[in-house]
Structures are given as structure tokens and as C-alpha cells.
Structure 1
């Protein structure tokens, strides 16, 4: 499959025209819009040991055909298995590679780093085996579970043989890719490959180690179990995770480091929190109604803005040593009514929050944002006390263009 995906090394072709090569390897793309330049690409072929490839050409006069030949190069085939370190059983995993900045072999190959896709490999369901292709030299190989539940495993650590290629000063574990910028390790395992140009194949076996976890029971004010909840604080991230039962699992808590766990129930509009300490025995979080905020979204002339999504997020705990940012998604969001009004329930007391406003791909900012405040957010406000309502009144908004998001008008 040959795809016209970019108009240069950076800009996307919104149409992404496609064609299939014939037995002679030739292809023909018809109906593409006219651009100043063109990039076409083909994906890797691990079975044949072929790398992905991109080709470039400038536009031609009038509507003369544009010719781009793609030279597919052989790479290094990497095979192996992914298993659960605790059980030894194969895992459904996803693997991907990224060429490191220190790689000295990139220029010896036809272009292969400009694809719109992140080519990876999925393990075979029963055996956990994988096969992918890359170039010689230093390349980062990363692995994580296919279901995305990376937090259920221990986080990645630097490859001890190439510790100098990792950066731990940023949040998480990162490295410098070919091109000079830093990116985070994806998944929960990594290893630096350093194949020689004469190598044809490498074998790498991957073990993902389950993370230690603490089980937290969820009950209501009457002490009865609450099932079907969402929670943050499950790992070192702010987004909510759904749990079908009445127990929330908290993973990878560092010794001596408290963890703020926030739990909510969307249907019953309940919320609660717990500062979990390492070593806590049989921890329980109790849910209640929380606080409430109301307000009205209007434009610069005071006319109501209906149909905006309003989300309360980026909460911070006040009056204590523990700070944390988190959000509960649907539980703490609502769409404005015909008069621009909104009401958000189940907000934690003793926390501050900020509001974001959006409609599809368009974001809105306050007409007079607070100094230093992100343009698409309403500044932090305290949450009402339990059983009380904080009325924010009319909030004047205007559309804002965020980089890479939404139309200008």
C-alpha cells in the first residue's frame, strides 16, 4: 500500500490518497489535489525484513504527472516474546521503536523517519511472540500491554548499559530521539538496541513485571459498598480509571510517599477522597454528595452560549501538605443549556478547581483571563462547602485558537 500522506516532511495531506502496487512494483495515485510538494510512503514489512520508506518530489508544471520512486531497504529484524514476569505466561503486548539521536546509520538508508504512522508490533495472542524491523545502531525498543493498562506494571527503568542516553530530570523517563528532541518512554519496559550493520536478526525477550498494589474499598455514607466507580490516583497520572466493583486498586506507590486517591460515582453523583499512606491496612474511601458550582456561559455581548462542554479539572488540595492534580471526567462536566447555564455536582471540598470550555474542536477563554492563566481555562476557585452551592455568575467567553486545535473561525 502506497499512501500520499504529507505535502512535505511536516504538513499532512488531508485526503491521504492511496494505491496498491502491481506485480511489477509500480503504483499510480490519481485524483490527488495539487500541492507545492508531495510525500508518499509505504509501511515496513517485517516478514521480508524491509524498513518503512518515504519519497519526496516537488510539483510539476500544470498537471503533468509527479514521479516518486520508493527504494525499500533491508533492516535488522527483531524477534522475541513478551511474558508476565510473575507468571511466565505470554502477554498481549505492543512494541515500538524509536531511533536515538546518537544513531550514526540513519543517513545510510533511504528516508524512513517521516511517516504519519507510529509503526509498532503486536504480539501473537497465544505465544506472545513479536517481529519488527529497525536499523542498526542505537534504537530504543519499548513495550507495554495492548490494553493500555500500563499502570498495572512496574514503570520502565533506564537500560543500565546505556544509562547516559536517558533523562530522568523531566517527569517520567525520557530520551533524545533522532532529530534532537526529547520524548517519553512509551509503555512499561525499554531496552537500547545496538545492532551492527552486519547483523540480520536480533532476539530480545521481554518480561513485564506486575506492579505492587493496594486495594481500597469504596462505601457510601451508610457504609454500604459502592460499585461501578471511577478513580484517579490509581497511578502517577491525573486521568480517571473505571472499576466495575467496589474496590479500587492503587499501583506503584513509592515507600513513604502519600497518594491522593479521588473516587466518584457518575450515576449517583457521589465523590470522596483518601490520602493513602504506604502500609495502610484495609483502607476505605467514603463517598458523599460533595459541593456544587453553578454559572452561565455568555459571549462578549452577554448573549448565552449554549452547547458548550464545561469541565471542572486540575484540582488542587488546599490546607494540607499533599498537592495533586486530577479530574473525574463525565462526573465533573456538563453541557450548557439554552440560556448558557450549567451546574456541576460532586466536587471535592477543600480543593480548588479550574474550568475549561469547549465545543467540538473549538475552545473558549475568559474575555479577561487572570494573569498567567492558560487561555482556555477559568482561574482557580474554591469549591463550595459540603451541601452548599458556589454561584460563579455570568462568565464572559470568546473563542480561542490553540496550537493544532480547531478552526480559526
Structure 2
């Protein structure tokens, strides 16, 4: 408003002086009418420029107001600083730095919120920005909030005119949860690599003596024919050990398996038939529900059966007093099928759920934790997802999501 008043005062003063000079000076050859016309034209021109100036100033003020409102709605945190002092911060930035109000942050040095180990990097980035005058790429930074908690962010900066100053606009994206999740996956991957190495070594060491034992048992079987029944039982158990070792080797390295198109309906029915005897002995009933028109899946049949049997066995063991297991098969989304196993068991405590599937972690008294880990590995090799949700004393739901064979578009 002060600027508008000043411009109006100057314009009126100029017009007044022109008219005063024209009337007080001696009559010129052109005549006073022409002089008055010139004065009117000059006054009109100045008025037009004044109107334009006012119009553009109002547009500029409106534009500044709009971009501030826009910045407030952006989910990423935005900080505008000048000579390292914070001039502006949006709502997301205030929340990111743990402040109750913006005034707790405004006027403070931006380096007050950067971890000392990361300040040298920040200084170099700002120097590069001023020198090259182009936006910097995103880089990871560690910030210290007002409550002294540390967070990890990705930040990019660019030069920005703010209230007439060559300020720096920085955009921050909180990646703390993402970083923790990545570190967790890395630790899990390292554990899996260790288990894989152990699995390969153990399998090799067991199979050698196993072959010898199997050979001697077959020799004794031929010699002592009257005890053939017992030798057959020993041989079947040795073969079972051999199969278990083969499954264990899935953890060591990818096996050369052959994937084929398979109807998920027939695969589930086979698994339920195999598990029904154990279910009946434990007073458990298994109910299967299929959505109509389920596409085929591409899989290694025996590996998927191993996963489903393992899930159903866990569900049966989680219901010592009996109960029901619901198996529901339905389309999840385009080109994906969902197989849900829902039991009425004891459930899993919420704090234990994130660790399910880790090597040697189990909720069973005599478990090893390798069965479910193997299941995770198999589903991963099938480009699928295995999810577990549970409520204590209510039951557990295990969902397996697998890709289906794409159907040709019929137009």
C-alpha cells in the first residue's frame, strides 16, 4: 500500500506541475489549447502506466500468495533459506522437524538441524548450487529434529527468488522407514546366504554316509529275506531323509525346476486330500472355496504343494482343541490369484509377526523356523508374495498371491 501511495503522489505532482507551468508561462505561438492537449495526453499516458503498474503489482502479490498456498499442500517438506537462515517452512516441514509451530524453526540456521557428520556434505552441495546455478540431485542426509530424534531424508535444492532475495529452496523426503526396512532386508538376506552355505555343506556331508547306509540295508535285505518288512521300512525312511535334504537345498541355491501351466483348483484339492488324515486325527475340518473361472498358474507343482502342506500343518498344530480351516481361492487383481488359509488357532503375538520367516525363528517348541523360510523362498521364486496376518486367540490368515497365465484379449 505504501508503494501504491508513493506512485500516485508522484504522478499527481507531475501532472500538477505541468499544468501550472503551462498556465503561468507566457503565451506561446502554439497556443494554450495545444499546450493543454499535450498536458492531457501526458497525464493520460502517466495514468495508463500507473494503472498497469498497479495491475502487475497486484498480480505479483496474488502469485506469491498462490505459490505459498500451493507449497503448503505439497506432502514433501519444503524449506526456503537465505545465507543458511530459514525464512520459510511449510506444514510438512514443521512436522518433519518435530515442531509445534513454525516460529520454533524460522530464523534458525539450517545447519542446526543437520547431523554433524553430514554437514560437510551439505556445505559442498550448497557451494555447488551457487556456483553452477542449477538444481542439485537428490542426496541422503541425516537430520536432527527439535526433540533430538534423528531421521533420514532425501534432499534436493535449487536457487529461488523469495521476497526479492536469491534464496535456496530445498525439498526433503523422509526415508527413515524405507531405510530401516532396507537394512532389515539386507540383514535377512545375509542370514539367508549364511543358511544357504550351511545347507549346502550339511546336505553334502549327510548324503555321503546316507548312500553307504542305503547300500548296506539293501544288501542285508537280500540276505535276510525273512525280515524284508523291516528293511523296507528303513529304506523308506532313508528315502524320506533324502527328500528332506533335497528340500533343504532350495535354500542353498536355485534348483533347475521345470515350471508348467497348472490349474490351482486341482493342486489345492490334491493337497487337502494329503493333509485330511492328519486334520481328522486332530479334530480339524478343512473347507475349500473356489471363485469361478480362476485362470491357470505357472508353477513347479511339487514345490507349491510343499508350501501349501506346510501352511496347513502349521494351521492344524495351532488348533490343539480342533476347529476349522477355510481355504479361499479368488482373483486378487488382473493376472494374480489369491489363496487364503484361515485358521481358528491360538494366533501369533503382533510383536513376533515381523520376524516370521527368518532363519531359525519359530513359535513352535520343537520347530527350526526353516519350513516357513523355505516356503517364502519358493513363493519368491514363483514371482509371488506370501503374507501373514494374525490376532492372538482368534487365528491366523496366510495369503499366497501368485501370478496367473495371461489370457489373450478378445476384441
Which of these two proteins has the greater Rg computed from alpha carbons? 2
* TM norm structure 2: 0.24
* TM norm structure 1: 0.24
Greater relative contact order: 1 or 2 (C-alpha under 8 angstroms, separation 6 or more)? 1
Q: By percentage of residues, which structure has more strand?
A: 1
Q: By percentage of residues, which structure has more helix?
A: 2
